[in-house]
Amino acid sequence: MRKRKPKLRVIQPDPRYKDPLVTQFVNNLMLEGKKSTAFTLFYDAMDKIKERTEQDEHAVWKKALNNAMPQVEVRSRRIGGATFQIPTEIPAKRKVAIGMKWLIKFSRQRSGKGMAEKLAAELIAASKGEGSAVKRKEDTHKMAESNRAFAHFRV
C-alpha cells in the first residue's frame, strides 16, 4: 500500500499548439521512448487533417477527443456470490486518458499506409462522431445503461 498519493507531474505544453493535452496525447502515442518520432508523427497527422478538412486541425483534434471520451464505465463488483457490472462515473482525468488511448489504439488497428495517415483518418472520423473509438464509447455507455439497475451497489 502507498502511504500517500504520488505527486502529479506537470506536463509541458507542446511546441506548436502550446497545449499540455497534446503532449499527453503524444506521450501515449510514443513507443520505446521515441518522443521526437511521436511528435513528428502527430504533427504529420495534423497537417493531413488541415489538408483534408480545411478546418483548424487543433479544433478537429479536440472535437475528436471529446467525442471519444466516455462519461460512465462499468466496474465488476462481487456481491453475495454473484458478480455485477456496476455503472460508475469516471473522473475527468481518467475520461481524457481513456479517450486518448482509444483513439490511438483504433488508429493503430486501422488499415492504411503509415501511422500518420491512420491517425489522421481516425481523428477526422471521431470528430464527425464516427470511427471505432466513438463506437467503443457508445458501447460502453450502452453497457452502463443496461446495468443501471445495479447502480445502487456503487462504492
Flag whether 2 is in a domain: no
Structural domain boundaries, residue 110: 33-73+84-150
**Contacts of residue 123, Cβ cutoff 8 Å, sequence gap at least 6:** 45, 49, 60, 61, 64, 103, 107
Flag whether 22 is in a domain: no
Flag whether 9 is in a domain: no
Flag whether 20 is in a domain: no
- Residue 120's pLDDT is what? 94
In the three-class reduction of DSSP (H, G, I as helix; E, B as strand; rest coil), residue 92 is classed as helix
- The total of other beta-carbon atoms located within 10 Å of residue 146's CB is 12
Flag whether 107 is in a domain: yes
- Residue 155's pLDDT is what? 63
Q: What is the mean pLDDT of each run of 10 residues along the chain (155 residues)?
A: 90 93 95 95 94 92 95 91 91 95 95 92 94 94 90 74
| Domains of the chain: total | 1
- Residue 16's pLDDT is what? 93
Q: Is the pTM of this model over 0.85?
A: yes
- Residue 79's pLDDT is what? 86
Triad 142, 147, 81: Cα angle to 5°: 145
Flag whether 129 is in a domain: yes
- Residue 84's pLDDT is what? 87
Block residue for cell numbers 478537429 = 60
Which residue type does 133 have?
A: A
Q: What are phi and psi of 18, to 5 degrees?
A: 55, 40
C-alpha cell at 103: 483513439
Q: What are phi and psi of 84, to 5 degrees?
A: -115, 145
Flag whether 12 is in a domain: no
Strand stretches in 34-144, DSSP E: 72-79, 82-89
- Residue 45's pLDDT is what? 94
